[in-house]
Amino acid sequence: MVEELKKVFIEKFAATPILVKSPGRINLIGEHTDYNDGFVLPAAIDKYAYVAIQKREDKHINLFSVDFNEAQEATLPELTTEGKHWPVYILGVVDQLLKSNYALTGFNLVLCGDVPIGAGLSSSAAVECATIFALNELFNLGISKMEMVKMAQKAEHEFAGVKCGIMDQFASMFGKENNLIRLDCRSLQYEYFPFYVPGFQVVLMDTHVKHSLASSAYNERRAQCEKGVAIIQPFFPQVKSLRDVNLQMLQQYVFPVDELVYRRCKYVVEEIERTVNACTDLIKNDFISFGKKMFQTHEGLSNDYAVSCKELDFLIQQVKDNPAVLGARMMGGGFGGCTINLVKENEAEVLIEKVSKAYQKETCSALSAYKVTIQDGVSVIDNK
Ligand code: GLA
């Protein structure tokens, strides 16, 4: 893939590019907690967005996507977001750099990748992180990784219109081979957890369902969480986010005012606590308890937070009582995408085949399964 990318770049722009790759991510537990100042437990995976880039002397930006076979042009400082979808993530980070007064000239950029799009694996964050990391290298901007994470997140808010939390961009930048990262989304302190479950592996099952309403529903969930906080604040002024809230506060103050908001907040408060406890399970090598918590998370996401869909629920139903599966749940923003499953290595193939058949029968569409490994975050690719 990298050779092909380089070839396309040289053909189009007659120069040798800098090459950067940035991974997609999984998240073991801690879903919809990042924008509530909670904890998450993501990791970078062996699926990447790849960027080839080189400077221009003028103010022109030429973008080309190998996967879509499409080009897009722009001229600094006017960056339009109209038209195609994929350039939004690239121009969004350029916009952030300009807003922070970094000196840029134009550039040529070719993009490709193998992070499945719309599968809940954060292909957009991978593109944002690859782009900002590449620009930082190219123009020698000296921006720290954490600053780049924040700028990439803001690009998603302002150009893609999704008020996402920090998890995806963080995982794509800070991933570490064979480690999960416990990130405290309030303090941004993080800790690596070696992740090795003897005899088990991570299997993702992709529904291929992509709901067009996913981003507006995501923003709506975020607003519901903020509403819950606003209801509680007059009684507890120290409460700044759902991280500071407990179930009793929700029951007493939110439930009587807005039952729907209560259910949304209840899920988040429970999930923040569950994630902390899941990390204790990991430290104790208690993978059975860890797996159980993944199933509980799915219940909460499906029933209270209402971000699942019938295809995801079906997949969880299929593996729930299977002793080859320690834990499983829908992953990412929701309304489609993948489930994440901790599956016995030597039974994974049989399970995938069985679930694929059942899925085909139930939904009349095909399932894809990915056995993923945990890898390092963003990096420059040796270009020799
Ligand atoms: C999306 C967002 C993340 C996070 C997850 C849900 O992936 O980009 O910030 O909120 O959904 O956990």
Same domain flag for 161 and 227: no
Residues 293 and 209 in one domain: yes
pLDDT of residue 382: 82
Q: Are residues 157 and 292 in the same domain?
A: no
Structurally, the chain folds into a number of domains equal to 2
Position 80 confidence tier, pLDDT thresholds 50, 70, 90: confident
Pair (22, 165) in one structural domain: yes
Query: Is residue 35 lining ligand 1, measured as CB closer than 6 Å?
Result: yes
Question: Quick one: average pLDDT of 329-335?
Answer: 96
What is the spatial distance between Cα 172 and Cα 128, in angstroms, rounded to a whole number?
A: 9
The range of the structural domain enclosing residue 169 comes to: 2-196+376-380
Instruction: Determine the distance separating the centroid of ligand 1 and the alpha carbon of 32, expressed in angstroms.
Output: 6
Contact 220, 345 (CB under 8 A): no
Higher pLDDT, 154 or 211: 154
Which atom of ligand 1 has the smallest separation from the CA of 33? 12
Is the CB of residue 32 below 6 angstroms from any atom belonging to ligand 1?
yes
CATH of the domain at 346: 3.30.70.890
Q: Quick check: 213 pLDDT over 70?
A: no
Q: What pLDDT was estimated at residue 383?
A: 76
Residues 6+ away with beta carbon under 8 Å from 370: 47, 116, 203, 204, 206, 338
In this structure, the answer to whether residues 178 and 212 fall within a common structural domain is no
DSSP 78: B
How much distance in Å is there from the Cα of 75 to the middle of ligand 1?
Answer: 31
**Mean of pLDDT over the chain:** 96
pLDDT band at 34 (very low <50, low <70, confident <90, very high): very high
Global pTM reads 0.96
Which member of 34, 95, 168, 281 is catalytic?
168
Catalytic status, residue 58: no
CA distances to 146, 221, 308 from 268, rounded to whole Å, are 25, 10, 15
Residues 167 and 215 in one domain: no
134, 179: one domain: yes
- Confidence check: pLDDT of 346 > 90: yes
Query: Do 350 and 302 have their domain in common?
Result: yes
Q: Indicate if ligand 1 lies below 6 Å from the C-beta of 31.
A: yes
Q: 210 pairs with which residues across the strands? A: 336
Give the C-alpha separation, 355 to 127, whole Å. Answer: 31
- Same-domain status, 176 and 282: no
Verify that 212 and 192 share a domain, yes or no. no
| CB 332 near ligand 1, within 6 Å | yes
Atom 1, ligand 1: which residue's CA is nearest? 333
Distance 172 CA to ligand 1 centre (A): 13
Tokens of 308: 């699942």
pLDDT mean over 135-163: 96
> Ligand 1 pocket, 152 CB below 6 A?
no
pLDDT confidence band for 78 (50 / 70 / 90) = confident
Using the atom order of ligand 1, give the atom closest to the CA of residue 218.
11
89 lines ligand 1 (CB under 6 A): no
Same domain, 190 and 251: no
What is the percent of the chain with per-residue pLDDT over 70, rounded to a whole number?
98
If asked whether residues 248 and 262 sit together in one domain, one would say yes
Query: Going by CA atoms, what residue is nearest to atom 11 of ligand 1?
Result: 333
Checking if the pLDDT of 210 tops 90, the result is no
